[in-house]
Structure 1
Amino acid sequence: MNKFNIIKNKQEYWLVDQIKKEDISTELYIRELTDILGNWSRLEIGYLSLLMDEQYESWLLERNFGKISSIVEYTRDLEEVQNTDNQMVSHSLAEGLIEDHEYAKLYELCRSGSANKNTKQPIAQVMSSLENELGSEWRKHCYYFLKDGAFAGISIPHIEMGTKNEGRLFYFGVVPELRGQGIGAQIHQVSMQLLKNFQATYYVGSTDVNNTNMIKIFEKNGCQLRDKKGIYKIVR
């Protein structure tokens, strides 16, 4: 039974997320994480970012992890999610109406001023990681939204690696000038419908504990608090 999901980006980084289950003991989690850390060190990967229950914090800090922040996870069953009637138009990058570099520029704009405390990767690195994490058809998952003909935001819905039906958003954001107008909740609602179209049966979203605006969007769109984890990082 897997105790962690791991996303590997060549020699640059590993993203490790604890799979919390009541029938897995503390000792088994620590044993598997120790093995992961050993492989990470042996392969000389740049850094490792970890999402894990904060009960392990002392153990992690003793092993040179630094704590970045804490996140909350929300979830929602997608069965009853319906198509929404709003004034925004959505397109995927795969349609070829805009170029990859234009999408990257919009992505950078949407993530500016974020309340999330995790260190932002350079946008070029983010774009290169999309194919690594989402596969060769990654452009089909990259959506952008227009309101009155102008860019309003982006969303990247996909099925979580290692699962068949867990829907996630690689990223979701609104352009600065449209924030606070309910646009984010609309894009988030449409994104859950897109996840349903990708055959996801449930959605899991996470954000920094200090990102009250995103938490309000989760709650407005019927998501329920599922968990809280710490964000930790170790660098070679």
Structure 2
Amino acid sequence: MDLFNTIKKDREYWLVDQVKDESVLDQEYIEAFSSLLDEWREKQIGYLSLLMDARYEQWLLDQGFRKVSTIVEYTRALDELFTVDPEIAVEALEDSEMADLEFAELYEQCRSGSANKNKLFTIEQVMESLENEIGPEWRASCFIFTKLGEPIGLSIPVIEQGTVDEGRLFYFGVMPKWRGKGYGAALHWSSLHLLKGIGATTYVGSTDEANRHMIGIFERNGCVLRDRKGIYRIDS
């Protein structure tokens, strides 16, 4: 099995996520990541961002990484009927009249003021990554939530790479003027409904440990804490 999932963008960056398995020894993880790190250095990629268990932290710091923050990971089964608020409409970007530029502006507003500390990309890079990571049909995976015709948030439900039924949200966010009014939990609940609709049987979501609002949404919608990982970064 692969011990790390890696997303590579030309010579710009590598995004690496440890695949945790209790049967794998710490030394095996260290050896596997050392090999990956050597390849990154040899190819002189811009930076490497890593999600890894904090027990490796001192070793990572010794390799030249700096710690950015810690993420918490929540999960729940998608084994019930997710009834959604009839006053909130949802439409895929490919079926809407919204242009890609408008969607980018909506995305940028939704992510403004976030408590997440790991801010890696400009909105231009985000839009580019949608096609790179989701594929040419990415617009079918982007959903816009509206109320009375006004966009209030967005969600991008996907099946995790390398799995057949693990649901993730590539992104989920609420417009600033609609925050603090209970819409975050409602839109997240609708996102779980969307995930179930594309074949997911479980949901896994993550956020910065400082993002108490998103953690509250996870807990309100029946998700339970599964894991914690440090976020580490090294630049060439």
* TM bracket (short chain): over 0.9
Q: Which whole-Å CA distance do the structure 1 matches of 2:96 and 2:123 have between them? A: 20
Tell me how far 1:81 sits from its aligned partner. Answer: 4.2
Q: How many matched pairs?
A: 236
Cα deviation for residue 85 of structure 1 reads 3.1
What residue is the counterpart of 1:129 in the other structure? 129
**Does the CA contact (< 8 Å) of 2:85 and 2:186 recur in 1?**
no
**Alignment-derived partner of residue 138 in structure 1:** 138
Whole-angstrom distance in 2 between the partners of 1:108 and 1:162: 29
> 1:177 maps to what in 2?
177
Report the counterpart of residue 232 of structure 1 in structure 2: 232
Structure 2 length-normalised TM: 0.97
AA aligned to 1:202 is T
**Kept in 2: contact 1:81–1:192 (CA 8 A):** no
Q: CA deviation at 1:44?
A: 2.0
Aligned letter for 1:141?
Answer: S
- Runs of 4+ in structure 1 off by over 3 angstroms are none
What residue identity is the alignment partner of 1:5? N
What do the CA deviations read for 1:139-168 (whole angstroms, capped 9, x no partner)?
Answer: 111111101211101111101111111111
Does the alignment pair 1:114 with 2:114? yes
What residue ranges of structure 2 are gaps of 5+ in the alignment?
Answer: none
AA matched with 1:177: K
> Equivalent residue for 2:11?
11
Q: Structure 2: which amino acid aligns with 1:161?
A: Q
Q: Who is 2:24 aligned against? A: 24
RMSD of Structure 2 on Structure 1 (CA): 1.0
Q: Is contact 2:69-2:118 (8 Å) kept?
A: yes
Which position in structure 2 is the counterpart of 1:62? Answer: 62
Which residue in the other structure is 1:217 paired with? Answer: 217
Q: Distance in 1 between matches of 2:92 and 2:10?
A: 27
1:174 and 1:184 in contact (8 A); partners too = yes
Look up the match of 1:166: 166
Q: Which whole-Å CA distance do the structure 2 matches of 1:157 and 1:97 have between them? A: 20
Percent identical: 55
* Larger mean Cα displacement after TM superposition, 106-115 or 162-171: 162-171
Query: Is the CA contact 1:154–1:174 (under 8 Å) kept in the aligned structure 2?
Result: yes
Give the Cα separation in 1 of the matches to 2:140 and 2:39: 33
- Any gaps of 5 or more consecutive residues in structure 1? none
Q: Which letter does structure 1 place at the counterpart of 2:122?
A: P
Residues 145, 152 of structure 1: 8 Å contact kept = yes
Distance 2:120 2:20 in 1: 26
